[in-house]
Amino acid sequence: MRFDTRNKKPKLWNLLVQLLFGAGIVFAMIADGAHKYILPISVLVDVFILLSIVQLIVAFFRQLQYNPYSYNTIYYFGFALFLIAVLIMEVLVTFALYRNPEEYQLTNVLSTLTGSAQTYMILSAPFILIFSLSLCISNIVLLRHEGRSFVNILGILLSFCLIAGELFLWRYDYYATGSQFEVMMHDIGTNAFAGIYLYFECMMIGTIAADLIAARYEPEYDKDYVIILGCGLRKDGTPTPLLKGRCDRALQFARRQKEKTGKDVIFVTSGGQGEDEVISESASMANYLMEQGIPKERILQEDRSVNTQENMKFSKEKIMAQNPDAKIAFSTTNYHVFRSGIFARRVKMRAVGMGAKTKWYFWPNAAVREFIGLLSAHRVKQALIIISLLVCYIAMTVWYYHT
């Protein structure tokens, strides 16, 4: 599959219409007598969940073709995986209803939907445990190699939060006593917590998938420019191993393109000069490229930027001044490709990224930093999704206790 081959953004309004339509049919059946339609209602729920999964998967691949560097890529993958788990649970309930209709009621279908976030947490607990332990191990190795700092323990902190969330659900939902109202309020609290945890878990899984896809992607060999994103220098002004890796990845791509198509690229070295740096990151990268045999006239220096968004913004300005129709790629470290692509689209530059390899123990913690960075953006959109999940789970819980 190739990126940037679709001009129309995938829409999911039909999914909302489908959901409202399905809910209307289910409510009509219940109003007419739920006992008569238990099995049809369960089958209908299965069908609507299946259709939702198909639409999310199709939207995911279309999003990759339209704009792979989008929050929608994360949402589509993360929530499609969740709905697959819900579908499996609902199909088992439907099968049980078919085999023993006299032993099951509508509440069995509702309880599966109401407790879907909790069940998903339980089913994904082994993955969370393995992921958290792996993250801690890589963080410990990182601390030994890179020294102690707050950013170098982010993976350990995330691991603690993930495991603490699973333990809290297990302990809080262990038992509930009291009146029906008290038990209902307990379940509302449990399902609301599980719904919030579900959102961040889906975001995390979706981010991992989006990062891996973006990092492993190889741009087509038709590019006019390759932007190399800066990331810090040594004290003598030479590139750090991380920055050298980004330059080498761009050089590798340029040589392959030359072999396959005969077309040269222009390198855009992007990065300003920090207070503790003797020269700009752009100049340092340019010097390194020339040492590798790249002529000066094929290097375009951008030395004003101080962050990734400015890298993209100022590099675009320089490229557009030379070639408004240029085809552009960018080179950065593998864990940083997806988020960098988001910044490129934010400045309305349609560029595709390539990822340079980094040490195995550096990737997990860096990926956590990228994940946290993604969570800090689009706060209104994320708040709306979280509120919608809370409303759905609270409403389903109340409905379950009044059915």
Residue 249: both structure tokens together:
């990845």
* Spatial contact of 306 and 34, defined as CB atoms under 8 Å apart: no
Per-residue pLDDT at 220 = 95
Asked if residue 27 has pLDDT above 70, the reply is no
Alpha carbon dihedral 75, 124, 386, 3, in 10-degree steps, equals: -10
**Range of 11-15, 182-186, 251-255, 365-369 with top mean pLDDT:** 251-255
**Range of 154-168, 180-194, 318-332 with top mean pLDDT:** 318-332
Write the pLDDT tens digit of every residue in 88-109: 999 998 898 888 877 777 777 7
Per-residue pLDDT at 30 = 60
- Rounded to the nearest 10 degrees, the angle between the axes of helix 106-114 and helix 116-123 is 60
Asked if residue 271 has pLDDT above 80, the reply is yes
What is the model's pTM? 0.89
Q: How far is CA 203 from CA 35, 89, 107, in A?
A: 38, 22, 30
Phi, psi for residue 266 in degrees, rounded to 5: -100, 130
Q: Which residue has the higher pLDDT, 19 or 346?
A: 346
- Rounded to the nearest 10 degrees, the angle between the axes of helix 154-172 and helix 116-123 is 120
3-state secondary structure of 348: coil
Phi, psi for residue 177 in degrees, rounded to 5: -125, 170
* Spatial contact of 212 and 335, defined as CB atoms under 8 Å apart: no
Which residues in the chain are classed under CATH 3.40.50.620? 225-326
Provide, rounded to the nearest whole percent, the portion of the chain with pLDDT above 70: 95
Reported confidence tier of residue 8, pLDDT bands at 50, 70, 90: confident
Per-residue pLDDT at 174 = 65
Reported confidence tier of residue 26, pLDDT bands at 50, 70, 90: low
Torsion sign (Cα): 16, 196, 183, 81: positive
Per-residue pLDDT at 247 = 97
Per-residue pLDDT at 32 = 54
DSSP string, 241-278: HHHHHHHHHHHHHHHHHHHHH----EEEEE----TT-S
Asked if residue 199 has pLDDT above 80, the reply is yes
Write the pLDDT tens digit of every residue in 40-81: 888 888 888 998 999 999 999 999 999 999 999 999 999 999
Per-residue pLDDT at 218 = 94
Which of 7-21, 157-171, 284-298 is least confident? 7-21
* Spatial contact of 76 and 15, defined as CB atoms under 8 Å apart: no
Asked if residue 145 has pLDDT above 90, the reply is no
Q: What span, in angstroms and rounded, lies between the C-alpha atoms of 45 and 37?
A: 12
Q: Which amino acid is at 166?
A: E
Which residues, 6+ apart, have CB-to-CB distance to 158 below 8 Å? 132, 135, 368, 371
Reported confidence tier of residue 399, pLDDT bands at 50, 70, 90: confident
User: Using the 8-state DSSP alphabet, how is residue 233 labeled?
Assistant: B
Terminal-to-terminal C-alpha distance of the chain? 47
Write the pLDDT tens digit of every residue in 208-242: 999 999 999 999 999 999 999 998 899 999 999 99
User: Using the 8-state DSSP alphabet, how is residue 238 labeled?
Assistant: P
Per-residue pLDDT at 345 = 94
CATH fold of 225-326, please?
Rossmann fold (3.40.50)
**Range of 24-33, 159-168, 177-186 with top mean pLDDT:** 159-168
Quote the distance between the C-alpha of residue 50 and its chain's center: 22
Reported confidence tier of residue 370, pLDDT bands at 50, 70, 90: confident
Asked if residue 35 has pLDDT above 70, the reply is no
Q: How far is CA 138 from CA 240, 257, 363, in A?
A: 21, 35, 9
Reported confidence tier of residue 257, pLDDT bands at 50, 70, 90: very high
Asked if residue 311 has pLDDT above 90, the reply is yes
Helix (H) or strand (E) segment spanning residue 312: helix 308-322
Asked if residue 31 has pLDDT above 70, the reply is no
Reported confidence tier of residue 279, pLDDT bands at 50, 70, 90: very high
3-state secondary structure of 329: strand
Of 393, 257, 254, 246, give the one whose Cα is nearest residue 331: 246
Asked if residue 143 has pLDDT above 90, the reply is no
Per-residue pLDDT at 227 = 98
Compute the average pLDDT of residues 342-361: 92
- Mean pLDDT of all residues in the chain? 89
Reported confidence tier of residue 39, pLDDT bands at 50, 70, 90: confident
Q: What angle do CA 116, 120, 123 make, to 5 degrees?
A: 135
* Spatial contact of 181 and 320, defined as CB atoms under 8 Å apart: no
